[in-house]
């Protein structure tokens, strides 16, 4: 719900160090703040960005909220082609690389992955704990480092080098170690912050 998101944002604003990149996400955007003020929190309040409406015949219809126009409209079923449904092809190859979808995902997911790559060993001793936190606590299918392995860390490094941007800590570690992935041996080993491979602890 947006109320929970607002509390998380306020907590980040109060606790992140000055200059932390996460601070720019520590307040709700205007449209979402207005939704919060109206009590438009999500499923628990009857609707957030989506809501289900019961029709006269007993059936249900899904509606989508348009935050720019402040109106509800019928939800449109979206079907993605394969190249737009997989991060590794969405970001770096084929039609996906030049699509509006790719631009959106690059801004949202790309920033998240780079942020995670800079948090070791600041908030966790290794990449495994960050991946597990995101999978166990936030229901991600893959953690950020597992996802970067699917996309290809070298592609991310090349993109950042091309733009003249500094590499986050773990991408720099991977580059200096001459490695191509954060995990190997079917996920049984991970690359440590020292550039040395270690066994993934049992869950």
Across 18-154, the runs of DSSP E, i.e. the strands, are: 50-54, 60-66, 71-74
Question: What is the side-by-side strand order in the sheet with 189-191?
Answer: 183-184, 189-191, 197-199
Across 59-184, the runs of DSSP E, i.e. the strands, are: 60-66, 71-74, 183-184
| DSSP-derived secondary structure letter, 34 | H
State the Cα–Cα distance between residues 151 and 49, nearest whole angstrom: 29
What tens digit of pLDDT does each residue of 36-77 get? 999 999 888 989 999 988 888 989 999 999 988 889 999 988
What tens digit of pLDDT does each residue of 91-139 get? 765 544 567 777 787 778 888 999 999 999 988 999 999 999 999 998 9
């Amino acid at each position: 719900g947006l109320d929970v998101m607002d509390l998380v944002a306020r907590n980040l604003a109060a606790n992140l160090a000055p200059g932390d990149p996460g601070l720019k996400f520590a307040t709700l955007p205007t449209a979402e703040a207005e939704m919060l003020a109206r009590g438009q929190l999500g499923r628990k309040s009857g609707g957030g960005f989506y809501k289900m409406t019961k029709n006269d015949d007993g059936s249900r219809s899904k509606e989508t909220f348009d935050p720019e126009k402040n109106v509800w409209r019928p939800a449109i079923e979206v079907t993605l082609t394969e190249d737009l449904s997989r991060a590794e092809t969405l970001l770096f190859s084929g039609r996906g690389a030049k699509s509006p979808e790719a631009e959106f995902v690059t801004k949202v997911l790309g920033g998240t992955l780079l942020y995670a790559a800079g948090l070791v060993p600041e908030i966790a001793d290794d990449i495994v704990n960050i991946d597990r936190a995101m999978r166990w606590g936030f229901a991600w299918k893959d953690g950020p480092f597992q996802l970067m392995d699917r996309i290809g860390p070298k592609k991310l490094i090349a993109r950042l080098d091309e733009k003249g941007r500094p590499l986050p800590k773990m991408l720099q570690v991977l580059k200096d170690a001459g490695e191509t992935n954060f995990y190997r041996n079917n996920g049984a080993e991970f690359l440590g912050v020292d550039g040395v491979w270690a066994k993934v602890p049992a869950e």
